[in-house]
A and B are shown apart, each in its own frame.
Chain A
Amino acid sequence: QKEVEQNSGPLSVPEGAIASLNCTYSDRGSQSFFWYRQYSGKSPELIMSIYSNGDKEDGRFTAQLNKASQYVSLLIRDSQPSDSATYLCAVKGGYSTLTFGKGTMLLVSP
């Protein structure tokens, strides 16, 4: 049984700060990782995917992967109140099924 662990939060940061969201996974053979953002009452939307060790940047978002430590993180630079949401980490399994963590709630205060 694959497991994906996230701190449920809430993680509170002031506007303009860097928010750091973390995720660990149990299956050492996992190769593909995804971050989704979910606003309250809405469906998840894909923010980033990462497949190789290291950093991947897309605008204000940076995903970091360390397969040796089984650790994935998402950094959000210049956080905005509109970034307030729950962030879900997901790990790809067979047939492209995703195992999701419970999510970390991020609150960005003006």
Chain B
Amino acid sequence: NAGVTQTPKFRILKIGQSMTLQCTQDMNHNYMYWYRQDPGMGLKLIYYSVGAGITDKGEVPNGYNVSRSTTEDFPLRLELAAPSQTSVYFCASSFTGGTGENYGYTFGSGTRLTVV
């Protein structure tokens, strides 16, 4: 049981380049999330998804896009990378029941991105 798998683990981008951060979960969780974590800061929500085909913006969505074509996959796309997007990115998933009960997130191992 792999849990939440993120690739790549590390990446250096040049300003203006684009890339996709991959996230896959094998726990049949319905909800998935992307967070970024800057040094000394908490995690900030970028985008989330409550199921295949349904996504919505979080607190810091500018410069990012997502899609969710399957339950398992939730890739994060960076367009026109900027130094301000240098951060550690975490994908997470959770199961939320019909009455809203949720038992916490399972996080991936993270992607450390540097934009130069």
Contact = CB atoms under 8 A, between A and B. Distances in A.
Q: How large is the interface on B (under 10, 10 to 19, 20 to 34, 35 or more residues)?
A: 20 to 34
Contacts, number: 52
Interface stretch (A13-21, A64-72, A92-100): A92-100
Interface string A17-32: 0000000000000001
Interface of A: 4, 8, 32, 34, 42-46, 49, 88, 92, 95-103
Contacts of B53: none
Contacts of A88: 42-43
The 3 closest A-B pairs by CB, nearest first: A100-B42, A43-B107, A46-B104
A42 B9 CA distance: 11
A49 B90 contact: no
Contacts of B42: 4, 88, 100-103
A100 B43 contact: yes
A98 B103 contact: no
A8 B110 CA distance: 22
Contact of B31 (A34, A42, A95): A95
Interface of B: 31, 33, 35, 40-45, 48, 50, 56, 58, 90, 94, 96, 100, 102-110
B40 A96 contact: no
12 contacts: A34-B104, A42-B109, A43-B107, A45-B107, A46-B106, A96-B94, A96-B102, A100-B43, A100-B44, A101-B42, A102-B41, A102-B42
A43 B40 contact: no
A4 B100 CA distance: 21
Contact of A43 (B31, B58, B110): B110
Given A88-B42, A99-B45, 17 more contacts: A4-B42, A42-B110, A43-B109, A44-B90, A44-B107, A45-B107, A46-B105, A49-B104, A92-B102, A96-B100, A96-B102, A97-B33, A98-B43, A98-B45, A101-B42, A102-B41, A102-B42
